[in-house]
Amino acid sequence: MLSAKDLVVGYRRGRPVLDGVDVELHPGATLGLAGPSACGKSTLAAVLALLLEPWSGSVTLDGQPVRGFRHRAPATQRTAIGVVFQQPRLAVEPRWTLDAVVRAPLVASRRRDDGIVAELTEAVGLTRELLARRPHEVSDGQLQRACLARALVLRPRYLICDEMTSMVDASTTALLVRLVRSVAAEGTGVLAVSHDDALLEAWADDVVRWR
Amino acid sequence: MRETSVTKTSVTKTPVANADTFTGTRQPASALTVDRLSVRFRLGRKGKAGIVHAAADVSLRLRRGRVLALVGESGCGKSVLTSALLGLLPANAQTRGRALLHGPGGDLDLCTAPERRMSRQVRGRRIGLVPQSAASHLTPVRTARSQLAESMRHLRGAASRSDVDALAERAGLAPASLDAYPHELSGGMAQRVGFALALAGEPDVLLADEPTTGLDRALVDHVTDGLATAAAEDTAVLLITHDLAAGRRVADDVAVMYAGRIVEAGPAGDVFADPWHPYTRGLLGALPDGGFEPIPGHPPELTDVPDGCAFCARVPDAPGPPCNGDPEPVAVGGRLIAGHVPC
């Protein structure tokens, strides 16, 4: 279980964005988090992705307390959590091919490709020809497919999707969500953040609504 | 080639030479007619690296007081139309066909009008643009008010403080927030400033290019309501979007674009309730409340669009009316449909 207790976190001193938030992600379950812009959804997602250090409160990953965030997070904890962001263009190295983008986590953690890259790229519908291209040669939707494959390539136990589908069209949305649901069915715990209530109703097991 | 395909039509299925297809009693006046407009881009020296067919034989009619939603997946050529209609295509673009802006002084073909005329008479004054990410269209070092006032002075000659306030209120923006700098505005507020800028010259035609991408549902509704209000004030509105829910909410008419071509068009209620083209069915079926099923495969590259029905090349056995392979839309019962003509 990936959980946070009594979170207080913000960006400016004295003005916390989250104040006393508790959340639990269970393996195999999808938690939807809905709410308007600027309500703190992405802040919570960033903390659970170990990308933002809370001012106070605790984050626990499968029974182990998380002691460091960002580059200070231990590799075993960092690689247990995958993240997909809203804007794929801001989330990939523009000079790499999509194939290199998807493989990057394997290279960084010195793991071998046991066929997972082929499996995932097929599941997100990226052909060999598309994988050879660079980000400026593909659409936002195609790039987001690569970002989801990259987030799953280390077989994370938890997946954080922060507005994963808000820049892509309806058909790509349906495809990406179908893949995330299938990895959730295999035991991955998922946090799905979105402002789209109808989407979360169709996607998540439980939906929490913030104001 | 294309001309010969027209001979297959019968009495009820007339070929479409222009966009005058939506039947009905007493149509409002046309503001802009796009007539078989094609836009292509030549890549590399003399087009040797390929030709992008961004739009092919697109016909649309914008009427005063109505919202036309142009929907389709990203990369299908929708946004090229706004550039073409505003005379902002890059130098390697070639156009064919016409886009006539109707006005009291006669028609103006936007594809051939000189730049001087476009900049002095058309952009901002007769055609307003609501951009995709309004925040990036604002100058970061000046307040929203000073930018709105400058646009109004430029387009109308004078702008008092109360004029600017009134314009902001029309766009759904509280006058108090006008004194903020762009970085102090939320995405939704910046979008409303962009909307106010588009309204500053009181244009007859509003082009809204993906105005709702990345906004939350309440703000999407707000932006679409703003477009509906503009239409109610007798403006012709073109809403270009991949957000079908937004299109469904506000559109009077809808045109569905796939691989640079219009594949289906008609009154929004009819098309959304009973889509004929398998692509329209696929788009609606991909919505969370429509089945949540993705369309298999990818849209074709616009450098390499298949002949005939481009959608059948992607999904050969899609449900719905069978395909006659003709990429040219024909008029059937007040709607336009390409290839998949219902019996």
CATH number of the structural domain spanning residue A162: 3.40.50.300
Complex ipTM value: 0.81
Q: Do A173 and B286 touch (CB under 8 A)?
A: yes
Q: Which chain A residue's Cα is nearest to B73?
A: A169
Q: Which domain holds residue A26?
A: 2-209
Instruction: Provide the total of helices (H) and of strands (E) in chain B, helices listed first.
Output: 11, 13
pLDDT digits (tens, 9 = 90+) for B166-182: 999 888 888 988 999 98
pTM listed for this prediction: 0.84
- How many domains would you assign to chain A? 1
For residue B157, the tally of other CB atoms under 10 A from its CB is 7
Chain B residue with minimum CA distance to A203: B288
B contacts of A141 (beta carbons < 8 Å): 73-75
Neighbours of B300 (CB within 10 A): 19
Give pLDDT tens digits for A50-71: 999 999 999 999 999 998 999 9
Decide: B328 and B15 in contact? Cβ < 8 Å.
Answer: yes
Of A38, A198, A203, the CB nearest to B186: A38
Which ranges of chain A would DSSP assign to H, the alpha helix? 41-48, 75-78, 88-91, 98-108, 116-123, 128-131, 140-152, 170-185, 197-203
Contact A170 B242 (CB under 8 A): yes
Which tokens sit at A22?
Answer: 């508790």
Amino acid, single-letter form, for residue A22: D
Widest distance between CA atoms in chain B: 62
Mean pLDDT of chain A, nearest integer: 94
Residue A171 to residue B73, Cβ atoms within 8 A: yes
Residue of B nearest to A137 (CA): B301
Inter-chain residue contact A197 with B187, CB threshold 8 Å? no
C-alpha R_g of chain B: 20
Cα dihedral B123, B124, B126, B130, rounded to 10, equals 100
Residues of B in contact with A203 (CB under 8 A): 288
**pLDDT tens, B107-137?**
999 999 999 999 999 999 999 999 887 878 8
pLDDT of residue B127: 96
Q: Is A102 exposed, middle or buried (0-12, 13-18, 19+ CB in 10 A)?
A: buried
Cβ contacts of A174 on chain B, cutoff 8 Å = 286-288, 292-294
Residue A196 is nearest to which of B187, B188, B217, comparing CB atoms? B217
- For domain B27-114+242-343, say whether CATH 3.20.20.140 is its number: no
In single-letter form, the type of residue at position B95 comes to: T
Chain B residue nearest residue A168, CA to CA: B74
